[in-house]
């Protein structure tokens, strides 16, 4: 099994992430049609519970596997790298079993906790998924620790394909028994997808579990770790991360209940509140597409920084941090500008809903803040500063809860208040993480330096795209073309042109170099006009 570079690993996970998110976007209109917008709100609420339990079960140990495997591989301690994985995998099986039973048995109380009692059946149907994902997460952590992102990427695509098909088929089959049953049927696709992914990863592992050691390698002077020592290291690293992510998502669960109550307080009915939450979930799904790229970057960077940090290579650590932040802004900033400029058009194109565009307008800021915090969290995980980052996350959760309680209850704001709450949630840890990283590593990370050139290029892109979108709408209306077709044309064409305008902007500002182009697939660079390529130095 060949180790991949950070850039190649990022590219592989990014490509897989984009495919997965496009599939998850494409099936939403069909699912909404099957279970209605009200049902979609219930469906998404059940997923909030699933994600909460999922992160508690899967956030800590898989990341510990990735860190320990990469660390021991860097130190050429191959036997302990494999042994730490096997111990952690066994721990994950136990945790996955316990959490699956917990989710199934307490589905009713959990549904009442979030003020969505109709979500009980869906929560029960999602329970087996936790067990399957515990297997999936273990193997993904192992492959990422070995610097090979391909098995993770392929498993993600397989999982989503099966999930998409299964979700629509089972939702349609069970809908005849009512909306609650239809929502539950839709969640069965998730369980089936995670099962297929687990089977695939086990097969790949069995074919590639032999580690090829360098020539001249010897185990002399290698002090082997005992099982107890490895278990303690897994716990030492995994538990803080579980606490960190678990508290964050616990805050989300509490926040979900608060948002529902405050929507009702603002004058909306239960049915209308479910619809508002359904729209909010669609907005979050759209944001998750570019966030997937950043998550892929964070997953690729974590073992790379961890390996350099364990070797005390300060220069390499700083280089990889700057690389991660630079590419973070190269992806997040144009995505945010694009979603903000084409907000109504994108929402109507994908979901056939006209009332959610304003969420993308405000939510574009959330996208950038979320992206930065993702990279910062990965950096802090790499250098072992988890307890402090947990505190920062919790301060963000408290800020979000307070903001949502105040703003969502105002009738003229209602669900938009939840977006402002998300801004506060990410802004607080962003500032605190920034100071901690600079102080701990004794380096100066200049966020504005990395942000400036992508922003200027994105601003140029945004102006051109906005003007083109407006012009196309006017031209199409003269030819009596209106409605969904007109919106699709006026939205899709500017999106494709935006890519080239953004690259042109980067070339003019010096935001992209010839070295960057070498890291991109040759098929992509061939699509860039030669006039733009000549501007890139």
3-class SS letters over 305-329: HHHHHHCCCHHHHHHHHHHHHHHHH
Tokens of 454: 């992508």
Among 262, 240, 137, 274, smallest CA distance to 197 is for 137
- One digit per residue, pLDDT tens: the chain, 537 residues? 555 555 565 566 666 767 777 777 777 888 888 998 888 888 888 988 888 888 888 877 887 888 788 777 777 777 877 788 888 889 889 999 999 999 999 999 999 888 888 889 999 999 999 999 999 988 888 887 777 778 888 888 889 899 999 999 999 999 988 889 999 998 898 899 999 999 999 998 888 776 665 555 556 556 677 778 888 888 887 777 777 677 767 766 777 778 888 988 888 888 888 888 888 888 888 888 888 778 777 766 666 676 676 677 777 778 788 888 888 898 899 999 999 999 999 888 888 877 778 888 898 999 999 999 988 888 887 777 777 877 888 898 889 889 999 999 999 888 899 999 999 999 999 999 999 888 888 777 788 888 999 999 999 999 999 999 999 999 999 888 888 889 999 999 999 999 889 988 988 888 877 776 665 556 666 667 777 777 776
Specify whether 198 is located in the same domain as 257.
yes
Q: For the beta carbon of residue 59, count every other beta carbon within 10 angstroms.
A: 20
- Domain span at residue 73 reads 6-210+226-445
Choosing from 414, 445, 476, the residue where a domain stops is 445
User: Vertex 41, ends 36 and 42: CA angle to 5°?
Assistant: 95
Residue 111 dihedral angles phi and psi, to the nearest 5°: -65, -40
Q: Are 461 and 495 in contact (CB under 8 A)?
A: no
Length of the chain counted residue by residue:
537
Specify whether 487 is located in the same domain as 359.
no
DSSP 479: T
CA distance 31 to 62: 31
Report if residue 221 sits inside a domain.
no
Report if residue 258 sits inside a domain.
yes
Q: Are 341 and 19 in contact (CB under 8 A)?
A: no
CA distance 58 to 95: 9
Residues 6+ apart with CB under 8 A from 27: 164, 167, 168
CA distance 81 to 233: 12
Burial of 2 (0-12, 13-18, 19+ CB in 10 A): exposed
Specify whether 21 is located in the same domain as 73.
yes
Residues 6+ apart with CB under 8 A from 426: 366, 369, 370, 372, 373, 396
Report if residue 514 sits inside a domain.
yes
SS3 465: helix
CA distance 8 to 520: 9
112-118: long-range pairs with CB below 8 Å, 24+: 113/253, 113/257, 114/45, 114/48, 114/49, 114/253, 114/256, 114/257, 114/260, 115/256, 115/257, 115/260, 115/261, 116/41, 116/42, 116/45, 116/46, 116/260, 116/274, 118/42, 118/179, 118/180, 118/183
Report if residue 469 sits inside a domain.
yes
Specify whether 112 is located in the same domain as 30.
yes
Q: Are 64 and 88 in contact (CB under 8 A)?
A: yes
Specify whether 514 is located in the same domain as 404.
no
Specify whether 456 is located in the same domain as 408.
no
Specify whether 203 is located in the same domain as 331.
yes
Report if residue 216 sits inside a domain.
no
Choosing from 445, 478, 506, the residue where a domain stops is 445
Specify whether 353 is located in the same domain as 485.
no
Instruction: Classify the phi-psi angles of 147: left when phi > 0, otherwise alpha if psi is within -120 to 50, otherwise beta.
Output: left
Residues 6+ apart with CB under 8 A from 350: 25, 28, 29, 282, 286
Report if residue 217 sits inside a domain.
no
Tokens of 523: 């098929």
Half-sphere exposure of 452 (CA within 13 A, CB side): 7
Specify whether 320 is located in the same domain as 467.
no
Specify whether 276 is located in the same domain as 244.
yes
Specify whether 325 is located in the same domain as 404.
yes
Specify whether 24 is located in the same domain as 84.
yes
Integer angstrom CA distances of residue 373 from 289, 305, 429, 447: 16, 16, 7, 12
Report if residue 347 sits inside a domain.
yes
Report if residue 219 sits inside a domain.
no
pLDDT at 166: 92
Choosing from 397, 413, 445, the residue where a domain stops is 445
Query: What is the number of structural domains in the chain?
Result: 2
């Amino acid at each position: 099994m060949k180790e991949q570079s950070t850039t190649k690993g990022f590219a592989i996970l990014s490509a897989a992430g984009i495919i997965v998110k496009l599939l998850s976007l494409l099936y939403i209109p069909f699912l909404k049609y099957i279970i209605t917008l009200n049902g979609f709100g219930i469906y998404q609420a059940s997923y909030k519970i699933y994600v909460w339990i999922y992160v508690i079960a899967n956030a800590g140990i898989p990341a510990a596997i990735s860190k320990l495997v990469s660390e021991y591989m860097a130190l050429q301690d191959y036997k302990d790298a494999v042994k730490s994985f096997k111990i952690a995998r066994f721990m994950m099986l136990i945790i996955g079993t316990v959490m699956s039973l917990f989710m199934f048995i307490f589905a009713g109380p959990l549904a009442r906790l979030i003020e969505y009692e109709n979500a009980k059946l869906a929560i029960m149907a999602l329970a087996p998924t936790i067990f399957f994902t515990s297997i999936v997460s273990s193997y993904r952590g192992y492959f990422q620790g070995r610097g090979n992102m391909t098995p993770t990427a392929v498993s993600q695509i397989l999982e989503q394909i099966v999930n998409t098909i299964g979700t629509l088929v089972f939702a349609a089959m069970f809908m005849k028994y009512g909306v609650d049953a239809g929502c539950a049927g839709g969640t069965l696709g998730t369980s089936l997808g995670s099962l297929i992914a687990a089977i695939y990863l086990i097969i790949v592992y069995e074919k590639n579990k032999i580690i090829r050691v360098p020539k001249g390698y010897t185990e002399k002077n290698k002090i082997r770790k005992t099982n107890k020592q490895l278990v303690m290291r897994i716990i030492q690293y995994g538990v803080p991360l579980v606490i960190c992510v678990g508290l964050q998502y616990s805050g989300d669960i509490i926040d979900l209940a608060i948002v529902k109550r405050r929507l009702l307080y603002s004058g909306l009915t239960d049915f209308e509140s479910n619809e508002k939450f359904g729209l909010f979930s669609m907005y979050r799904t759209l944001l998750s597409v570019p966030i997937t790229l950043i998550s892929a970057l964070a997953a690729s960077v974590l073992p790379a920084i961890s390996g350099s940090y364990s070797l005390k290579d300060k220069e390499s650590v700083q280089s990889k941090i700057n690389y991660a932040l630079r590419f973070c802004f190269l992806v997040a900033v144009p995505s945010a500008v694009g979603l903000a400029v084409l907000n109504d058009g994108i929402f109507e194109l994908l979901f056939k809903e006209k009332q959610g565009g304003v969420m993308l307008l405000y939510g574009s800021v959330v996208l950038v803040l979320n992206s930065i915090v993702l990279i910062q969290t990965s950096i802090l995980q790499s250098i072992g500063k988890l307890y402090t980052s947990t505190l920062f996350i919790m301060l963000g959760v408290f800020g979000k809860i307070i903001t949502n309680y105040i703003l969502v209850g105002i009738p003229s704001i209602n669900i938009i208040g939840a977006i402002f709450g998300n801004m506060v949630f990410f802004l607080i840890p962003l500032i605190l993480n920034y100071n901690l990283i600079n102080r701990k590593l004794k380096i100066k990370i200049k966020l504005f330096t990395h942000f400036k050139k992508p922003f200027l290029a994105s601003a140029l892109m945004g102006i051109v795209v906005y003007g083109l979108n407006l012009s196309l709408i006017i031209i199409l209306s003269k030819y009596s073309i209106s409605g969904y077709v007109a919106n699709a044309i006026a939205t899709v064409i500017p999106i494709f042109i935006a890519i080239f305008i953004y690259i042109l902007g980067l070339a003019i500002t010096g935001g992209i170099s010839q070295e960057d182009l070498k890291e991109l697939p040759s098929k992509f660079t061939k699509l860039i006009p030669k006039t733009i390529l000549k501007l890139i130095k």
